[in-house]
Amino acid sequence: MASRLILSVLMAGVLALPGCARPAAAPTPAGAVQENPWGRNYFPNVVLQDQDGRELRFYDDVIAGKVVSINFVYTNCTDICPLDTAQLLRVQGILGDRVGRDVHMYSISLNPERDTPEQLRRFMRTYNVGPGWTFLTGNAEDVQLLQRRLGLRAVDENNLRQHDTSFIVGNEATGQWIKRSAFESPQLLADLLGRQLLNFSPDAAPGRQSYSAAGEVTDRSRGYYLYRTRCQSCHTYGEGDRLGPDLADITKSRPHAWLSRWIREPDRMLAEGDPTATALMARYRNLAMPNLGLRESEVQEVIDYLRRRDEEAAR
Amino acid sequence: MASANSLWAGFRAAIGGGFLVASALGSTAAAKTFDIPTGAPRSPLFGALPWTQPMLTFEEFGTQAVPTTSCATCAPLPPVRSCTSGPDGAALDTFLRQQLWPAPTVAANTTRRSYWHTSVGSCVRPLATSAIEGRPPGEWFSHQRWSEFRPAVYFQSAQAGARVNNGLRDGWQRHGYANGEFAPGGLYYAGGTTRGINVRFHPRFPVQQENSVWTFDGTMPPKLLMARVGEPILFRHFNALPISAAANNGFGAHTISTHEHNGHNPAESDGFTAAFFFPGQFYDYHWPMQLSGRDTINTSASDPRAGFPNGAGGVTRIRGDWRETMSTHWFHDHMLDFTAQNVYKGNAAMMNYYSAIDRGREGFQCNYTDAANANLCFPSGTSLDWGNRDYDVNLLIADKAWNTSGQLFFNIFNTDGFLGDQVLVNWTWRPYFNVRARRYRFRILNGAVSRYFQLAIVTAGGSRVPFHMVANDGNIMEHAVRFPNAESQSLPVQGIAERYDIVVDFSRYAPGTRLYLVNLLEHDDGRGPKASIPLADVMSGRYTGDPAVGRIMEFRVNVNTGVDRSMNPAAYEVGGRVMVPMPEVSEAEIAGARHRTFDFGRREGTDENPWTIRTDGGEAFNMDPHRVSAAPTTNRWEIWHLNSGDGWSHPVHIHFEEGRILSRSNLGAAQPVPSWEAGARKDVYRIGGGPDEGTDVTLLIRFREFLGTFMEHCHNTQHEDHAMLLRWDNRSPGQTVAIPTPIADWQGVYYEPSLDLPTAN
């Protein structure tokens, strides 16, 4: 019974052994389990470099025996990747110190030539990425192979804007892998990583509380929805700065025309050298506000939502 | 070991490079890529030849009266054998033979602990609490209108790993192996038992291991529920799958949620994707079996066409609209993220509804002799008062693949869609099936993950065998449609989860004749079907592309010793008699309907972005069970526009009520609605612009009798899981509270707040 228990714990992925190959499995009950088809024979054991220049083998060191999230980024990406990274930061925040222990997060560079370990470190500092979330770079062909093996469409370095924005989450020990999207609620991703993929071994109750804390459910406006899904990754309302500034009173402190354009095309304003935009970027770790691809009407809805809150707060 | 290595080499090459599988296998064929099975080498056949084994026919669950006494001697669900395997098969049979116990309750039974709480404690984590029933607790998931529709009958089954059939259900077959073709000497007697049947697709193939295939009872044949319209049913579904999440031979989740597709069932029994339950628990599904419109139409229960056979030659009349009578359904898993894997792995059963109009008894008070008679007398048999299956045969068609060891294989990484290279009929590989030279009804279900079919029946020489389609998506149509016809030579394209009931007359063929069921529809990937292949090319062997195109089943015509008393479908074609007219709806009602638009596609329309559904032009979302995208008010007409724009095919399923197709269009250009859809109530609507479909569909629908949380999704279940699935709630007028979202756990189910989208309205 003892050996069976050890096996099951391993299978459930509760024990994660960073940097180590999986120990030899305990004897299998007769006829019950085949070899996991999504293991060593499936995933290439290519060598990658982390942000500190350490060499990690993809199968042995990165995924074996672990619950992982994997996405693909490049550090000079200006459209969707910042939102990806900001969303993942929130996932990391929800999981707290379990990241690096129960759950391992990886972002792999699609632009290895540019994204040296040093560049990755700079990027992580900009976003204030905490421990347990590793950035990786490597040979371009290897990275493309990894993308394909994880069920993503591979892109080459010349076409990076077309890259597949999915997250892959999985538990190598149980062979369960799921494709999810950067646009999902961070709470859902945290629950998937921190609970479901661990055979529901942690208690659901803490997750339940943080989800309810995540928000009002009475506001059905589109502006609120856009705020919740697009802005909240980097901003709070009245709870202090996150990656970007606290948005409380923003509709009072900025002229409407400026604010509207800033939300719609921050990249162009920065390129033009708009003084307010440039100052903001300097103040927030040189992290550029991303172009979220919002339509004019959507920008207006977000501003309307923020103005309502500002007016309520003033009452 | 060498063979295993070469398997993995080929496998990696196929997945890694999207190579020509044909060339990897050393074949010279194919100018085109056919990565089938998706990302894996071809399934080995172990020397088996086609048409060398009989087709398995469905085994009835068998319903029984709900017991009125308690059970002092009833034992609990037997224990697991280990963390990685479920209970012993014989012990499970003994358990399932017991009466229903403990008695069902209105709210979930959380007063008793999970049957396996101790094992879960040692295999996963110690449990402070747990519940015997996995249904979410309390008022929100209590059975609606329980006292009104108190179950009269029940059946129970356990989702379990593959094992040999011990004949558990032999005594529960309505035919009793003593009537008609099921009696000794009949075509389908088959020894009078299912004892000894293994989970194996052909006698030459290896037996499936316990965790390769998970079915109802863990056994073959596939299972059939025979139910009567108006007779409420309780299905106690036990989860007897392994406690370890790793014990799945490469795919499948051990948590499940069961959806009766497309029952008029209350939300708590609809298999909501987040209301899943765990190994060691049961879930009581309450299927009231009521006709839609029960609360507003035929409320005096006076219409003789609304009712069910009473077992003694009569009809018990019920309230509701007889034109909403349903016939051919199925039920299957709906687990969040794992529906494709679980259904593929065996979580699929069929369900026939018997009613005044579709009694499963031919020659008895037939509509064809007197238009005032309700019974349409489809081919079935005459021995029993209802539910004769002698000439009424369920066919579950699905493509599969298996590895070099012969064990079922699924590629979990390709979310464009998964295709198998071998088509199984009722889980048997290229079987033969003996038929009498008379009319038969076949209830054909596409039970695939991503594959569409287009079926034809042909002679050995390649001539088409004519037949009639009588029901679409399990609903009897206004008129029978003859095939071949001007619109279609073969049966129309059949998307995933669509059901087509057809009537074939084998009396045109001499005993000894062999006929074939052929699939003509080519896929080259799981995104959608590509083209219908000319029959002549398939029959001549000239066509060598998609390995699932070709003959999948053989019919062997035997002499008919009895008299065929079934209806002649030709008499029910347009211009002739009517089978089931469409429920009327006025122009004013259509004009006053609430419109909603659902766009199925990838965000921003590119392949690199995730699957989504966009509601009413809002944000494009994938699945979050908290999010309510639409909230219709009960009993009001709605018009739903289902659009696609990415060129991929999506068979869209809307739960709970049937709709009717108002129009079809392709890239903005109107298309005629084909005859087999014009007079049909549907629950799956094909869009995407592939063969036999336009890019967009507009349909009319309303939701009645039961409230709560339902779903709408793409039934290419790889798209659904990742994640073309949305939640809509049916609400009372003025209802402002969204039903909270269940969060399931080994220790019990919690609730979190739900979030209405602006489009919920």
The reply to whether residue B18 touches residue A148, judged by beta carbons under 8 angstroms, is yes
Domain match, B561 and B621 both: no
Helical pair A186-194 and A205-213, crossing angle rounded to 10 deg: 170
Structural domain of B746? 587-756
C-alpha separations of B226 from A106, A180, B93, B353 in Å: 51, 39, 20, 6
The pLDDT of residue B162 is: 98
Domain match, A26 and A125 both: yes
> Which of B539, B572, B605 is where one domain is finished?
B572
Rounded-to-integer distance, Cα B49 and Cα B53, Å: 9
Residue percentage of chain A with pLDDT more than 90: 48
Domain match, B85 and B210 both: yes
Rounded-to-integer distance, Cα B62 and Cα B457, Å: 32
Shortest Cα distance from B250 to chain A (angstroms)? 6
In-domain check, residue A215: no
Q: From chain B, pick out residues whose CB is under 8 angstroms from the CB of A210.
A: none
User: How much is the CA Rg of chain B, to the nearest whole Å?
Assistant: 24
Domain match, B641 and B526 both: no
Look up tokens 């009413």; give the residue.
B616
Per-residue pLDDT band for B16 (boundaries 50, 70, 90) equals very low
Domain match, A138 and A254 both: no
HEC sequence for B199-246: CCCCCCCCCCCCCCCEEECCCCCCEEEEEECCCCEEEEEEECCCCCCC
Instruction: Choose from B341, B621, B624, B745 for mutation: most chain A CBs within 10 A.
Output: B745
With contact defined as beta carbons under 8 Å apart, do A194 and A207 qualify?
yes
Q: Is the pLDDT of residue A27 over 70?
A: no
Domain match, A206 and A239 both: no
> Which of B342, B357, B372 is where one domain is finished?
B357
Ranking B363-367, B509-513, B738-742 by mean pLDDT, the lowest is B738-742
Alpha helices in A133-291 (DSSP H): 140-149, 186-194, 205-213, 222-226, 250-253, 256-264, 266-272, 275-283
Per-residue pLDDT band for A187 (boundaries 50, 70, 90) equals confident
Token readout for A297 is: 């009407």
The reply to whether residue A32 touches residue B247, judged by beta carbons under 8 angstroms, is yes
Q: From chain B, pick out residues whose CB is under 8 angstroms from the CB of A29.
A: 81-85
Helical pair A186-194 and A81-95, crossing angle rounded to 10 deg: 50
With contact defined as beta carbons under 8 Å apart, do B463 and B256 qualify?
no
Of A90-94, A297-301, B145-149, B717-721, where does the model show the most confidence? B145-149
Q: Is the pLDDT of residue A20 over 90?
A: no
Domain match, B631 and B559 both: no
HEC sequence for B41-73: CCCCCCCCCCCCCECCCCEECCCEECCCCCCCC
Q: What are phi and psi of B392, to 5 degrees?
A: -135, 105
HEC sequence for B107-147: CCCCCCCCCCHHHHHHHCCCCCCCCCECCCCCHHHCCCCCC
pLDDT tens track for B199-256: 999 999 999 999 999 999 999 999 999 999 999 999 999 999 999 999 999 999 999 9
Domain match, B74 and B208 both: yes
Domain match, A78 and A193 both: yes
Domain match, B722 and B699 both: yes
Domains in chain B, number: 3
Per-residue pLDDT band for B594 (boundaries 50, 70, 90) equals very high
What number of other Cβ atoms are within 10 A of residue A90's Cβ? 20
- Give me the sheet containing B422-425, strands edge to edge: B428-429, B422-425, B392-400, B439-446, B499-505, B467-472, B475-483
Domain match, A116 and A252 both: no
Q: Which parts of chain A are beta strand (E)?
A: 47-50, 55-57, 67-73, 103-109, 133-138, 166-171, 176-181
Interfacial A residues in 70-129 facing B (CB < 8 Å) = none
Per-residue pLDDT band for B483 (boundaries 50, 70, 90) equals very high
Query: How buried is residue B68: exposed, middle or buried, by Cβ count under 10 Å (0-12/13-18/19+)?
Result: exposed
What number of other Cβ atoms are within 10 A of residue B501's Cβ? 26
Domain match, B316 and B424 both: no
Distance of CA B541 to the CA centre of its chain: 32
In-domain check, residue B380: no
Q: Is the pLDDT of residue B321 over 50?
A: yes
Shortest Cα distance from A70 to chain B (angstroms)? 14
Interfacial A residues in 149-168 facing B (CB < 8 Å) = 149-151, 153, 155, 162-166
In-domain check, residue A241: yes
Residue percentage of chain B with pLDDT more than 70: 95
The pLDDT of residue B26 is: 32
In-domain check, residue A84: yes
CA-based nearest residue to A287, from A238, A237, A246, A242? A242
Mean pLDDT of chain A: 81
The pLDDT of residue B279 is: 98
In-domain check, residue B209: yes
The pLDDT of residue A78 is: 66
Q: What are phi and psi of B502, to 5 degrees?
A: -125, 155
Shortest Cα distance from B17 to chain A (angstroms)? 8
Q: From chain B, pick out residues whose CB is under 8 angstroms from the CB of A32.
A: 81-82, 84-85, 210-211, 242, 247
> Which of A160, A190, A210 is where one domain is finished?
A210
Look up tokens 């909240």; give the residue.
A232
In-domain check, residue B276: yes
What number of other Cβ atoms are within 10 A of residue A297's Cβ? 8
B250, B622, B721: residue with CB nearest A38: B250
Ranking A53-62, A280-289, B343-352 by mean pLDDT, the lowest is A280-289
Of A87-101, B112-126, B599-613, where does the model show the most confidence? B112-126
Q: Is A6 near chain B, with CB under 8 Å? A: no
Alpha helices in A70-153 (DSSP H): 81-95, 117-127, 140-149
**Domain of residue A82, CATH code:** 3.40.30.10
The pLDDT of residue B713 is: 95
With contact defined as beta carbons under 8 Å apart, do B209 and B407 qualify?
yes
Structural domain of A190? 2-32+40-210
Query: How buried is residue B547: exposed, middle or buried, by Cβ count under 10 Å (0-12/13-18/19+)?
Result: buried
Question: What are the percentages of helix, strand and coil residues in chain B, rounded to 5?
Answer: 10, 30, 60
CA-based nearest residue to B262, from B483, B412, B445, B491? B445
In-domain check, residue A75: yes
The reply to whether residue A12 touches residue B85, judged by beta carbons under 8 angstroms, is no
In-domain check, residue B208: yes
Looking at per-residue confidence, does B465 or B718 come out higher? B465
Q: From chain A, pick out residues whose CB is under 8 angstroms from the CB of B85.
A: 29, 31-32
**Domain of residue A262, CATH code:** 1.10.760.10
Q: From chain B, pick out residues whose CB is under 8 angstroms from the CB of A201.
A: 124-125
pLDDT tens track for B621-664: 888 999 999 999 999 999 999 999 777 899 999 999 999 999 99
The pLDDT of residue A80 is: 60
Rounded-to-integer distance, Cα B593 and Cα B652, Å: 21
In-domain check, residue B372: no
Rounded-to-integer distance, Cα B356 and Cα B352, Å: 13
Domain match, A187 and A291 both: no
Residue percentage of chain B with pLDDT more than 90: 86
C-alpha separations of B433 from B176, B430, B624 in Å: 21, 10, 45
The pLDDT of residue A8 is: 40
Per-residue pLDDT band for B11 (boundaries 50, 70, 90) equals very low
Q: Is A37 near chain B, with CB under 8 Å? A: yes
The pLDDT of residue B30 is: 44
In-domain check, residue B529: yes
In-domain check, residue B379: no
Domain match, A95 and A181 both: yes
Interfacial A residues in 14-33 facing B (CB < 8 Å) = 28-29, 31-33
Q: What does the DSSP 8-state code read for residue B633?
A: B
The reply to whether residue A165 touches residue B609, judged by beta carbons under 8 angstroms, is yes
**Is the bond into B128 cis (omega within 30 degrees of 0)?**
no
Rounded-to-integer distance, Cα A42 and Cα A279, Å: 49
- The half-sphere exposure of A28 on its side-chain side, counting CA atoms within 13 A, is 15
Domain match, A115 and A194 both: yes
Domain match, B223 and B325 both: yes
Work out the average pLDDT over B453-479: 97
Token readout for B630 is: 């639409």
Q: From chain A, pick out residues whose CB is under 8 angstroms from the CB of B604.
A: 293
Token readout for A242 is: 């996150």
B122, B244, B750: residue with CB nearest A204: B750
Q: What are phi and psi of B539, to 5 degrees?
A: -70, -30
In-domain check, residue A150: yes
The pLDDT of residue B471 is: 98
With contact defined as beta carbons under 8 Å apart, do A226 and A301 qualify?
yes
Domain match, A13 and A133 both: yes
A149, A166, A212: residue with CB nearest B753: A212
The pLDDT of residue A28 is: 38
CB pairs under 8 A between A and B: 187
CA-based nearest residue to B214, from B100, B92, B78, B50? B92
β-strand partners of B216: B159
**Domain of residue B593, CATH code:** 2.60.40.420
Domain match, B353 and B204 both: yes
Rounded-to-integer distance, Cα B610 and Cα B622, Å: 8
Q: B352 by DSSP, 3-state: which?
A: strand
The pLDDT of residue A205 is: 56
β-strand partners of B154: B64, B234
The pLDDT of residue A21 is: 36
Rounded-to-integer distance, Cα B498 and Cα B62, Å: 25
Domain match, A172 and A226 both: no
Domain match, A66 and A188 both: yes
Work out the average pLDDT over B685-699: 92
Q: Is the pLDDT of residue B71 over 90?
A: yes
Looking at per-residue confidence, does A35 or A69 come out higher? A69
A145, A162, A203: residue with CB nearest B16: A145
Domain match, B522 and B667 both: no
Of A303-307, B37-41, B361-365, where does the model show the most confidence? B361-365
In-domain check, residue B363: no
Q: Is the pLDDT of residue B390 over 70?
A: yes
Instruction: Choose from A67, A183, A222 for mutation: most chain B CBs within 10 A.
Output: A183
The reply to whether residue A180 touches residue B8, judged by beta carbons under 8 angstroms, is no
Domain match, B719 and B593 both: yes
Per-residue pLDDT band for A19 (boundaries 50, 70, 90) equals very low
Domain match, A241 and A202 both: no
Domain match, B522 and B595 both: no
β-strand partners of A108: A72, A136
Ranking A20-29, B320-329, B442-451 by mean pLDDT, the lowest is A20-29
> Which of A179, A210, A241 is where one domain is finished?
A210
Domains in chain A, number: 2
